[in-house]
Amino acid sequence: QKEVEQNSGPLSVPEGAIASLNCTYSDRGSQSFFWYRQYSGKSPELIMFIYSNGDKEDGRFTAQLNKASQYVSLLIRDSQPSDSATYLCAVKHYGGSQGNLIFGKGTKLSVKP
């Protein structure tokens, strides 16, 4: 069964620090990797996606992918209280009719002022 694992947290960091969120996945056939942010009571909001090994940067966010280790991470630099939310890691495996995302349960991040 394809699984995506995340530490549930809460992960607490002070304002201005780097927050590091980690995710592992079980299916080596996974080809696309996504990070969504979900505020309490709201819908998931796409932050970043990554397809290739290495780093991908977008503003304060950096996604890192290591397919050999089946590991993907999200770094948030200069964390702000407004970054406090649950961060969902999702993977997609292409093949046949599959188009759905497989989500981890999310890591709750708390940024303290």
The residue ranges that bind another protein (CB under 8 A) are: 4, 32, 34, 36, 42-46, 49, 88, 90, 92, 94, 97-106
Nearest distance in Å: CB 54, another protein: 19
CA distances to 27, 28, 47 from 94, in Å: 11, 11, 21
Instruction: Decide whether 21 or 90 has the Cβ nearer to another protein.
Output: 90
Q: Work out the widest C-alpha separation in the chain, in whole angstroms.
A: 47
Instruction: Decide whether 19 or 50 has the Cβ nearer to another protein.
Output: 50
Nearest distance in Å: CB 62, another protein: 18
Query: In the structure, how many helices (H) and strands (E) does the chain have?
Result: 0, 11
Instruction: Decide whether 8 or 15 has the Cβ nearer to another protein.
Output: 8
Give the number of other Cβ atoms within 10 Å of residue 13's Cβ.
Answer: 17
